[in-house]
Structure 1
């Protein structure tokens, strides 16, 4: 007997005019059009004084953290370049919070096994974030947010790396010298890995334990009190049933890193948190992100 073949027309599950956004930066989502793309453009912008203040603040922070020392370039070595990146930071209502300037190395010129070895660094998953939010709502926990200032400047580096001096911050006396990095800096391929290792060692020394499923979730128990710590690059969430343990952890973090206390968590990873403690409800909203996509 001959086989019967279906005459139903096959149609694609996804229509031709349906667009899936995988990454924000692929279509410019989340980028501010007015942000300068280089140093020259920043100096010509209407907010040049804001960008200059931001650069001075960043250079001061690097000097305070003893990030590099000026040396004569050894023969046979080649320094990597660096550049300024400018970004306008906005709050959940798209109002300007501050102007940020980052000095980053041109990490794409680094050579494997010479300038770096490993680059992998874990971050907490969005599933872990939702689980913690569910626990906070169910047990009515305190939820605070902290931000690590100049996060990547805290990591140590094992390799010897030379970098050109930052644009507009080269004096006549040192114009023939280059920067020998003593700590990690934005743009290095291994920078996030070095930061994670530094944070992990310090938080473990304070009695925290790492979660077996998510390497960026930590917990600590002290009799009937407990606290959860969620690390997402430089954003830290603290959820606890004990005010004393919460403040003790905040003091410890501030002693080891330059921290910014953001108070009760309300805007994390682009997600707005609306909390109704009387009804044990959390509402998570990505309104701004959705509007940018639309």
Structure 2
């Protein structure tokens, strides 16, 4: 729990503000799970702070929520292209992906259970970044990721908005996005490595 909270604080996820009765304050809870290795043995215990998005009110602290995910036919097409050409394919799982998304709306949340600020116990969290559980969290994350890819000279596909393509005649790279799971493949392994490094720095 402490590790999760430190990650939230490091990312500037919220700031404490005085409570006002006019605010719609959503609750939050801790969700615990056990991560296991491929062979079934224990890897680690994980705690995640999740916002109670069902407390949100449309038009007050969220508007649009839709976030596109890559189509199954797009995945099959790109992977078959990679296999037939002998390209490297990398799968990325972004740690705390939703925390990278910036909120445009004013969202207020109660302080996490067990970590109440003793000097400001009646304050609430004004969220600056999205949290798991918020209705707009997937959309905010997708906007953050797509913006980073566009800065790296990728172009969004008109046929599938979760497919991004980089093509400079000699190098072609495909990026497939399914929420926080990313597949990247192309004809240049060095270029793929540079893209991954660039994304890592963009999303910190």
For 1:90 and 1:215, the matched residues in 2 are separated by 33
The secondary structure found in structure 2 opposite 1:248 is helix
What residue in structure 2 maps to residue 178 of structure 1?
Answer: 124
Structure 1 residues 76 and 225 mapped into 2: Cα distance closer, same or farther (>3 Å)?
A: closer
Query: Which position in structure 1 is the counterpart of 2:104?
Result: 158
Partner residue of 2:163?
217
Structure 2 partner of 1:66 = 12
**Larger C-alpha radius of gyration, 1 or 2?**
1
Residue correspondence of structure 1 range 1-294 to structure 2 within 5 A: 55-258=1-204
Cα distance, 1:201 vs structure 2: 1.3
Tell me the distance in 1 between the aligned counterparts of 2:24 and 2:75: 43
- Cα deviations by residue, 1:157-204 (Å, 9 ceiling, x for unpaired): 121111100011113222121111112111110111111111111111
- Distance in 2 (CA, whole Å) between partners of 1:230 and 1:76 is 42
| CA distance 1:88–1:238, change in 2 (3 Å) | same
Corresponding residue pairs, total: 204
Is the Cα–Cα contact under 8 Å of residues 226 and 245 in structure 1 kept in the other structure? no
Which structure carries more strand by proportion? 2
Note if contact 1:105-1:187 (Cα within 8 Å) is conserved in structure 2.
Answer: yes
Higher relative contact order (CA 8 A, sep 6+): 2
User: How high is the TM-score relative to the length of structure 1?
Assistant: 0.66
How far has the Cα of 1:88 moved from its partner?
1.9
Q: Provide structure 1 residue ranges, at least 5 long, that are not aligned to the other structure.
A: 1-54, 259-294
- Gapped regions of structure 2 (runs ≥ 5): none
Contact 2:49–2:132 (CA<8 Å) still a contact in 1? yes
Q: What's the TM-score once normalised by structure 2's chain length?
A: 0.94
